[in-house]
């Protein structure tokens, strides 16, 4: 199986030994505590689940700036975005101590991790602005990722963690949430050698379905990992349970048996375009994927990124051999009225725009809310019904 990133094996930070975990939870009751923001809580989940191998915890200012500027930590590890525990006030936190990290996304704010504090540092306004510009390629406060990052605080608490839970993801999505360890184990159990990873924060329409099949055929993959984001999105995006139901129905009816793993991971969307695409590739390598689909406007939002910037970054900014995972570059995929099948647009250069069945997200939402059936060339009817039921319930 493909190697983990920067390590001979996965390094999940979750405390698997139950007695030790209970002991740490008891000790946490006597430690200073910090109520995390959602972004930091999701970082804990990803660190605990092994997705962020080989990181041992939250970065300090030096590493955060180095990663933002060069996609490498100060010690030389390739990493595309800073992994930070940012707070507004840490006046009661001292370096060299341990603190309990509380989960903001679960009622009662249970302790989700214990962190050994190596440093408490302050980011200047200029440093915050520089990190935002490098990661998001904009400082526009209307960008949802910029808006979120700007609200998290400028005090950096760095140091290794011991994760004690997976927030709400394991309880709310027991059939879907999986750690990188569990995914690797399942890939091994199935005997898959070549695996294509597909990232989604949306339901999958026919174009997405066919894109996965195209990638599997092109790479000769044994299977497909459909890996959906289960964390927070921007307002108006479809909730994870609805997406989960829709994707499961599509796979059940339209993919060969045992050719797809449907899983999800606990992270909030960054909308960081190219940098987030690289992060997606890193933790899909940690999952055991040999190939990862990067499509048009991958992890983008609005008009902040060029249509294929998330593909260009792998060719123009990442030296060969940095990652073991292979990138499958996908074009916009749609149903051709001329060929009567779904194709990548680059493979039909003689087509005009009107030769494809293309619906905007706004149009799709309006049709579903009005109870109008989506074209069969665009969406499977069984999938469309699940989405229609959701929109008509609003």
Give yes or no: residues 365 and 334 share one domain. yes
Domain finish residue from 167, 189, 211? 167
Q: Assess whether 147 and 281 both reside in one domain.
A: no
Nearest one of 36, 39, 35, 114 to 83, comparing CA atoms: 39
As a whole number of angstroms, the distance between CA 367 and CA 375 comes to: 10
Helices (H), 137-224: 144-150, 169-172, 180-190, 206-219
Q: Which domain holds residue 369?
A: 175-265+273-393
Are both 118 and 182 inside the same structural domain?
A: no
Same domain, residue pair 305 and 202: yes
Q: Return the structure tokens found at 111.
A: 């302790």
> Tell me, what's the pLDDT at 267?
97
Number of domains in the chain: 2
Please give the pLDDT value at position 361: 79
Identify whether residues 162 and 245 lie together within a single domain.
no
50 closest CA partner among 92, 15, 97: 15
Please return the burial class of 217, using the count of CB atoms within 10 Å of its CB with bins 0-12, 13-18 and 19+: exposed
| Domain final residue, candidates 114, 146, 167 | 167
- 195 with 152, same domain: the answer is no
Q: Say which CATH number the domain at 35 has.
A: 3.10.400.10
Successive 10-residue mean pLDDT values, the chain, 394 residues: 95 98 97 97 98 98 98 98 97 96 98 98 98 98 97 98 97 96 98 97 92 97 97 83 94 96 96 98 98 95 95 96 97 94 94 92 86 92 94 88
The domain that holds 291 is classified in CATH as 3.40.50.620
Answer yes or no: is 294 within a domain.
yes
- Judge whether 1 lies within some domain: no
Residues 342 and 195 in one domain: yes
Q: 326 and 358 share a domain? A: yes
- pTM of the predicted model as reported, rounded to 2 decimal places: 0.96
> Which residues are identified as catalytic?
201-202
Q: Are residues 52 and 113 in the same domain?
A: yes
- Token pair 């005997």 is at which residue? 191
For residues 117 and 254, state if they share a domain. Answer: no
Supply the pLDDT for residue 394.
Answer: 85
- Distance between CA atoms of residues 224 and 240, nearest Å: 20
The verdict on 61 and 161 lying in the same domain is yes
């Amino acid at each position: 199986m493909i190697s983990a990133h920067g390590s001979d094996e996965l390094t999940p930070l979750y405390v698997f030994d139950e007695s030790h975990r209970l002991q740490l939870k008891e000790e946490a009751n006597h430690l200073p505590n910090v109520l995390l923001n959602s972004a930091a809580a999701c970082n804990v989940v990803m660190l605990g689940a092994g997705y962020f191998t080989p990181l041992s915890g939250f970065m300090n200012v030096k590493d955060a700036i180095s990663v933002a500027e060069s996609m490498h930590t100060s010690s030389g590890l390739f990493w595309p975005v800073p992994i930070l525990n940012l707070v507004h006030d840490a006046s009661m936190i001292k370096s060299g101590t341990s603190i309990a990290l509380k989960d903001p996304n679960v009622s009662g704010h249970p302790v989700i991790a214990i962190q050994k504090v190596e440093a408490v540092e302050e980011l200047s306004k200029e440093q915050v602005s520089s990190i935002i510009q490098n990661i998001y390629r904009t400082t526009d406060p209307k960008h949802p990722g910029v808006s979120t990052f700007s609200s998290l605080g400028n005090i950096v608490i760095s140091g290794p963690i011991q994760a004690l839970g997976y927030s709400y993801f394991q309880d709310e999505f027991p059939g879907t949430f999986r750690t990188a360890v569990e995914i690797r184990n399942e890939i091994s159990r199935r005997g898959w050698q070549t695996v294509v990873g597909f990232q989604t924060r949306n339901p999958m329409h026919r174009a997405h379905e066919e894109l996965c099949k195209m990638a599997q055929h092109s790479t000769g993959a044994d299977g497909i990992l459909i890996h959906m984001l289960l964390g927070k999105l921007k307002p108006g995006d479809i909730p994870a349970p609805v997406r989960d139901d829709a994707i499961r129905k599509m796979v059940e009816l339209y993919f060969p048996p045992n050719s797809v793993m449907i899983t999800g991971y606990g992270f909030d969307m960054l909308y960081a375009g190219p940098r987030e695409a690289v992060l997606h590739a890193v933790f899909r390598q940690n999952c055991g994927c040999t190939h990862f689909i990067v499509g048009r406007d991958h992890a983008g939002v609005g008009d902040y990124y060029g249509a294929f910037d998330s593909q260009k970054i792998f060719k123009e900014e990442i030296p060969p051999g940095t990652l073991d995972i292979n990138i499958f570059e996908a074009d916009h995929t749609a149903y051709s009225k001329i060929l009567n099948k779904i194709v990548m647009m680059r493979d039909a250069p003689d087509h005009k725009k009107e030769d494809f069945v293309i619906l905007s997200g706004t149009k799709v939402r309006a049709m579903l809310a009005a109870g109008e059936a989506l074209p069969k060339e665009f969406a499977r009817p069984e999938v469309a019904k699940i989405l229609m039921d959701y929109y008509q319930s609003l």
